[in-house]
Structure 1
């Protein structure tokens, strides 16, 4: 834990005051007023000229912040400078809000110098790391230097990392000691030399980030004021279909969503005061929009505390719930299932929990009821919906729990359910594609204007690829148009796995589908036309083990077939494949 000297603190406060827009002070007052949790809606909001069958938020539109992502967090952090911002749930290593600002601006100075080199062309930095308490320092500091930050899953193989580095054209890399060799292998594959910084002791002589952050001789950088339309982060998602694509999220998309999603009509954190501070567990991957935005940025925006865990392990997860008296539990269906079913999780372990916020994939009503029965106190169960491309857009209101529905629109957000053939907006309880329009939508897919145009229509609605129904302003996801496979909340692209499989010399053709799995929700299964009988299941599994992450492995099995069923235009009929058991 590092202490910021008084003179340094004054310097940071002075720097931040110089970059705070004139409107920020009045808006901060408005935000604090919202945080009292006394807001109520006697009548639902309806715009003056509503469009037919378009669903609006029950709240009127909010005036949105005009600060960029790092400066809005920095300016609010000054109110809570002595409170802990993030702590490792394993080692106890932690940083206060004052430390976050101090060390982020110190890191910004390093990033600025690296990106000023002639070899730097895109001003992009890539984080390849597990969840750690240094994450918000590195994220915010990189943004303060004017960089665009991209993230890579720590589960990726060198091949997968290489593909992403080719796409995002990064100029600087940050990693952990345990992942350093994978990153070096990836750079070897693409024949590139890119500056690497390691959060810890490097086995290859790369600079140690923790030493840099501790070095008080390193000067603070002055945080840049980024245009709201400029890209803050590039997060990878398979979108509504296809291979992983870089989702460009602007500073304005992030800061608008921070303000919209945290309205107390919807969001469950209690206000941060001198006497009270909310703590939440950060086990959701920080490279993912849930971990980066919902768990990290929103929590920091509200002055709460993140307990970071590098991975989900049952004992550590439950211990941190108990030790930190977690009141609001961020979770996904697979973790919720564990809490309900494991005999090692007792009612006493859940004594502090009052709110469960579940997202990433649909959860069964039976699971929510089982958790409510196991918890010793009344539980508000909130479901939410959002994509990397939309940021969180729907959430259950605080006073209107409906199990099986993923909530209502947050302020400044509109949705419609459209007919899959005509595109016409549908009335209540009719199935169609969920479309979302809000200030928090992505700018587009990196280097992919065609996919962007296919996803965001001319009216500004983003087509999610999810089949949904609506009633009374609530939305329920009932199916998926897209072929993505959701493995414990992770998105797995069938076409990506198919491309990898076809690199195997014994594979002539193949198709991958998702099949139901009690533990993971879904798992990938491959149907393969092989060259001859010498190609075995074991050989294919071994081939894939070195090519893709663990959660992308073909745990649904491998089925060798003579032909793949196709439509008249040659499209593989994957629904027919699912009927063929392994």
Structure 2
């Protein structure tokens, strides 16, 4: 008996020692002496290839499986068809539209199956892709056309009128290709369907393409940490790296595609946005998933699609999580096939998570964190984690650190600005070396503009935003952009915009307006003026007239003072 107790005590001591050593080893492997958090996951090799080469790499494993399918009409494309259509469209761009290496093609479409062959066809042609929100006004689109200077536009019948008006504003004459059903082809456009059904196109022209892994392939526009939208230069290597980082066995959000299994992901997040484009569409196509598209979010059609296609993976933003958990029409049966749900774009309130888990107890809830400038994924929770306030640990090949206002790296559980380093960090902002220099250090650290902390095991928690962007339903709204629009009103002298809390949208824009001397204007007049020039989620919900705006000695608007004094 005594011997058994001695052995028991010795065993407990040994286990405790090993546990301590294991924890110490874990901390040492995550935190460096310089207070840098390294990914706890094994590094991955990143091949030197262009994005479409990566997409087609395993094509022979699933050629006849569905790649894209419309959740409303059942219109679908297999992987073999996606390959053929992409090659054909790429060849047509080079032969009929004189697209050459490094040119830019602008895409303004809702989530439809044709989005994939359009994107991959542009890349096959050696060109860059810039995407535009299909709900943008001509005023918003024309600015991106001026900044990006595309050589061709691709739209759908609903967006063609906006594209035409935007071209007039930009004083450009650019061909418009329309993804159509032939019967409703808008006047003055070229039919995408006719282009891809042309069996006589010379695919040999694609051999002339000279693109490498370091060339820019995607040019989404982001407001960065402040200011007006800037073109984010994402290279082939950036996107391929982030795809492979998402394939890691310990952090992946999907199951392997086999003869018996194919995960279905519901693409309700818009493809024009980096989350929808790179995580939902590009990455999931690279691993053989079925991408089920929803052109626009409507509760009834969304729920019907969710049930009809046995969705196994849901990629969401906080408003969608709130909808799933609180809407009476979403029943437990609709969520039974869903194995995983990821949420990004903005912090997710814990009560919303709890509502959803109560309705669907078997779902793995996985918060993720990323930015347009990081291609986008940076961190993710792993399966089984219930620390829902955390955005998880850095994915493979990724380093994080938190710094104070003097630039000093902080240790565990200290709040400061989050910096990111890894192969997914963008090359820079197009034609804006000053903005690039301000956000990427000489040794490759990207300044996120987010206030965050890293705990002992390297898990990330976002505390707040240093940057002044407003997040409406997870979408970015730049105060400077709205201020610029407001100041175009003939009665306005000055304007300031901040984000204020909103129960349904997370935040909403609130404007403080100074009128010119001798001018009068109603709040509705200014609100309507702005509404004609911006998409719905950017519209002003509240306006306050002021005699003057708080500014520092150099004339910079003090939005912090507006927030503290008037909100």
- TM, length-normalised to structure 2: 0.91
The alpha carbon displacement at 1:287 in A equals 0.9
Match for residue 139 of structure 1?
Answer: 119
The SS at the match of 1:548 is coil
Pair 1:106 & 2:91 matched: no
Pair 1:408 & 2:375 matched: no
Q: Of residues 342, 347, 372 in structure 1, which corresponds to 2:327?
A: 342
Contact residue 303 and residue 329 of structure 2 kept, 8 A: no
Rounded to whole Å, the distance in 2 between the matches of 1:507 and 1:48 is 53
Rounded to whole Å, the distance in 1 between the matches of 2:328 and 2:282 is 34
Rounded to whole Å, the distance in 2 between the matches of 1:80 and 1:140 is 18
Contact residue 31 and residue 38 of structure 2 kept, 8 A: no
Rounded to whole Å, the distance in 1 between the matches of 2:532 and 2:101 is 32
Q: Deviations over 1:4-62 (max 9, x none)?
A: xxxxxxxxxxxxxxxxxxxxxxxxxxxxxxxxxxxxx9974966994521001111221
Match for residue 382 of structure 1?
Answer: 366
Rounded to whole Å, the distance in 2 between the matches of 1:522 and 1:449 is 31
Q: How does 1:65-76 map to 2 (within 5 A)?
A: 65-76=47-58
Pair 1:237 & 2:237 matched: no
Match for residue 356 of structure 1?
Answer: 341
Q: Deviations over 1:103-150 (max 9, x none)?
A: 000001111124537xx7951111111111011101111101101111
Distance 1:188 1:569, change over 3 A: closer
Q: Deviations over 1:303-345 (max 9, x none)?
A: 0010011111111211122111112211110011111111121
Pair 1:304 & 2:286 matched: no
Q: How does 1:12-411 map to 2 (within 5 A)?
A: 44=26, 50-114=32-96, 116=98, 123-200=103-180, 201-221=184-204, 222=206, 224=209, 226-375=211-360, 377-390=361-374, 391-411=376-396
Q: How does 1:394-473 map to 2 (within 5 A)?
A: 394-419=379-404, 421-471=405-455, 472-473=457-458
Match for residue 544 of structure 1?
Answer: 530
Of residues 256-265 and 561-570 in structure 1, the stretch that sits farther from structure 2 once superposed is: 561-570
Match for residue 10 of structure 1?
Answer: none
The alpha carbon displacement at 1:101 in A equals 0.2
Q: Of residues 544, 550, 553 in structure 1, which corresponds to 2:539?
A: 553
Match for residue 16 of structure 1?
Answer: none
Of residues 445-454 and 378-387 in structure 1, the stretch that sits farther from structure 2 once superposed is: 378-387
Distance 1:46 1:438, change over 3 A: farther
Contact residue 389 and residue 441 of structure 1 kept, 8 A: yes
Rounded to whole Å, the distance in 2 between the matches of 1:112 and 1:215 is 14
Contact residue 177 and residue 190 of structure 2 kept, 8 A: yes
Of residues 201-210 and 493-502 in structure 1, the stretch that sits farther from structure 2 once superposed is: 201-210
Distance 1:225 1:325, change over 3 A: farther
The alpha carbon displacement at 1:225 in A equals 5.7
The SS at the match of 1:508 is strand
The alpha carbon displacement at 1:581 in A equals 5.2
The SS at the match of 1:352 is coil
The SS at the match of 1:578 is helix
Contact residue 77 and residue 300 of structure 1 kept, 8 A: no
The alpha carbon displacement at 1:401 in A equals 3.7
The alpha carbon displacement at 1:571 in A equals 2.6
Rounded to whole Å, the distance in 2 between the matches of 1:259 and 1:360 is 21
Rounded to whole Å, the distance in 2 between the matches of 1:478 and 1:348 is 35
Pair 1:478 & 2:478 matched: no
Rounded to whole Å, the distance in 2 between the matches of 1:142 and 1:98 is 18
Q: Deviations over 1:459-491 (max 9, x none)?
A: 110000000011111000011000000011110
The SS at the match of 1:526 is strand
Q: Deviations over 1:257-285 (max 9, x none)?
A: 11012212111201100011000110111
RMSD: 2.0
Rounded to whole Å, the distance in 2 between the matches of 1:103 and 1:125 is 17
Contact residue 68 and residue 292 of structure 2 kept, 8 A: yes
Q: Tell me which structure has the larger Cα radius of gyration.
A: 2
Contact residue 336 and residue 367 of structure 1 kept, 8 A: yes
Rounded to whole Å, the distance in 1 between the matches of 2:368 and 2:33 is 24
- TM, length-normalised to structure 1: 0.89
Q: Deviations over 1:552-581 (max 9, x none)?
A: 1002x0000112122344332222323555
